[in-house]
Amino acid sequence: MRQRLEYAAAWPVIKLLGALPRPAARALAIGVAWVVYVLHVRLRRVGMRNLDLAFPEKSEPERARILRAEFTSLGRQLAEVCQFPKYTLENVEQVVLYDGLENYEQAYARGKGVLFLTAHFGGWELSAFTHSMHGHPMHVVMRAMDNAYLDRLIREYRTMHGNKTVDKDNFVRGLLAAMKAGEVVGILMDTNMTPPQGIFVDFFGVPACTASGLARIALRTDAAVVPTFTIWDAALGKYRLRFDPAMELIKTGDLEADIVANTQMFTHLIEKYVRKYPEQWLWVHRRWKTRPEGEPVVY
**Mean pLDDT over residues 129-155, rounded?**
86
Beta-bridge partners for 218? none
- Distances in Å between the alpha carbon of 27 and those of 77, 78, 221? 11, 11, 45
Reported as a single tens digit per residue, the pLDDT across 129-140 is 999 999 999 988
| The pairing of beta strand 206-211 with beta strand 198-203 | antiparallel
Reported as a single tens digit per residue, the pLDDT across 42-76 is 999 999 999 999 999 999 999 999 999 999 999 99
Specify the pLDDT at position 8.
61
Residue 25's pLDDT band, with cuts at 50, 70 and 90, is: very high
Give the CB-side neighbour count of residue 172, counting CA atoms within 13 A: 9
User: Could you tell me if 236 and 272 are in contact, meaning their C-beta atoms sit under 8 angstroms apart?
Assistant: no
Residue scoring higher pLDDT (196 or 33):
33
With a CB cutoff of 8 Å and minimum separation 6, the contacts of 229 are 118, 119, 121, 122, 124, 127, 242, 273
Reported as a single tens digit per residue, the pLDDT across 193-234 is 999 889 999 999 999 999 999 999 999 999 999 999 999 999
* Residue 3 predicted with pLDDT over 80: no
Count of residues in the chain: 299
Q: What is the DSSP string of 115-126?
A: EEEE-SBBSHHH
Reported as a single tens digit per residue, the pLDDT across 233-290 is 999 999 999 999 999 999 999 999 999 999 999 999 999 999 999 999 999 999 999 9
Give the CB-side neighbour count of residue 61, counting CA atoms within 13 A: 0
